[in-house]
């Protein structure tokens, strides 16, 4: 009888320690990431070169594997010829808000993450002198992302992954309206600080 009681107490104690350890996991995080971007289609008949961008997001985990993220991002593409002239840069900037699912891979400390979010972004067109010549105004789009979270110690992680952004806007130049569908894949590497 004493053995059964001791085993039951030991199991309850281990369960309590496990629950306590899970509650001590950090719920907040700040992540900075950047990488190379590849447009998946022409933008208003402009053939975009490979671009570059970065994103800063804030994480809050409200369940064991589920959380929200919000932040701001910037991405830049260039085109030799476009509807707006030659040697033009297209910059997408704006905000993101979404859900993140994160789960350990087996028993390793490495986790995978999946994200789905909404965008509130706009597209700016700049000339060779970096002067902003046109702006679409902000509008809604969406984002999907995935990758891995590799712990580096002391609540720091490396977060390589891939994301897909999709944004549709319209731009009018001299009474001609052009539909801009900016869809791109970004190969990214980030650094995450949990607190």
Which residue range forms the structural domain that includes residue 96?
A: 26-194
The answer to the question of residue 121 being in a domain is: yes
The answer to the question of residue 73 being in a domain is: yes
The answer to the question of residue 2 being in a domain is: no
The answer to the question of residue 91 being in a domain is: yes
Residue 24 pLDDT class (50, 70, 90 cuts):
low
pLDDT at 17 exceeding the cut of 50: no
pLDDT at 39 exceeding the cut of 90: yes
Q: Smallest Cα–Cα separation from 94: which of 165, 25, 178, 175?
A: 165
pLDDT at 90 exceeding the cut of 50: yes
The structure tokens 């609540």 sit at 155
Q: What percent of the chain has pLDDT over 90?
A: 70
Task: Evaluate whether 112 touches 149 at the Cβ level (below 8 Å).
Answer: yes
Task: Evaluate whether 187 touches 36 at the Cβ level (below 8 Å).
Answer: yes
What tokens appear for 11 in the block?
A: 């199991």
What tokens appear for 16 in the block?
A: 């309590």
pLDDT at 87 exceeding the cut of 90: no
Residue 41 is classified by DSSP as S
Residue 160 pLDDT class (50, 70, 90 cuts):
very high
132-135/66-82 β-pairing: unpaired
Residue with the bigger pLDDT between 65 and 44: it is 65
pLDDT at 16 exceeding the cut of 60: no
List the alpha helices (DSSP H) in the chain. Answer: 2-23
pLDDT at 111 exceeding the cut of 50: yes
Residue with the bigger pLDDT between 171 and 76: it is 76
pLDDT at 6 exceeding the cut of 50: yes
Task: Evaluate whether 178 touches 171 at the Cβ level (below 8 Å).
Answer: yes
Residue 104 pLDDT class (50, 70, 90 cuts):
very high
Collapsed DSSP state (helix, strand, coil) of residue 130: coil
Q: Of 12-21, 134-143, 169-178, where does mean pLDDT reach its minimum?
A: 12-21
The answer to the question of residue 59 being in a domain is: yes
CATH of the domain at 98: 2.40.160.20
Q: Give CA–CA dist 54/159, Å, rounded.
A: 13
Number of domains in the chain: 1
Residue 1 pLDDT class (50, 70, 90 cuts):
low
The stretch 172-189 carries a mean pLDDT of 90
Give me the pLDDT at residue 106, please.
94
Task: Evaluate whether 45 touches 79 at the Cβ level (below 8 Å).
Answer: no
Give me the pLDDT at residue 4, please.
58
The answer to the question of residue 7 being in a domain is: no
The answer to the question of residue 117 being in a domain is: yes
Q: Of 16-25, 50-59, 110-119, 120-129, where does mean pLDDT reach its minimum?
A: 16-25
């Amino acid at each position: 009888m004493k053995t059964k009681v001791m085993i039951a107490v030991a199991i309850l104690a281990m369960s309590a320690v496990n629950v306590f350890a899970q509650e001590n996991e950090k719920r907040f995080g700040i992540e900075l990431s950047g990488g190379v971007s590849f447009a998946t289609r022409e933008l208003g008949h402009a053939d975009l070169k490979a671009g570059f961008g970065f994103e800063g997001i804030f994480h809050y985990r409200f369940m064991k594997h589920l959380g929200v993220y919000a932040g701001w991002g910037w991405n830049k593409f260039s085109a030799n010829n476009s509807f707006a002239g030659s040697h033009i840069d297209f910059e997408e900037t704006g905000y993101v808000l979404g859900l993140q699912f994160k789960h350990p891979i087996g028993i390793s400390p490495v986790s995978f993450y999946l994200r789905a979010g909404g965008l509130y972004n706009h597209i700016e067109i700049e000339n060779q002198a970096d002067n902003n010549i046109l702006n679409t105004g902000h509008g809604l789009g969406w984002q999907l992302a995935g990758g891995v979270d590799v712990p580096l110690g002391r609540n720091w992680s490396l977060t390589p992954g891939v994301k897909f952004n999709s944004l549709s806007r319209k731009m009018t130049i001299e009474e001609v309206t052009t539909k801009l569908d900016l869809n791109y894949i970004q190969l990214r590497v980030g650094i995450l600080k949990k607190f």
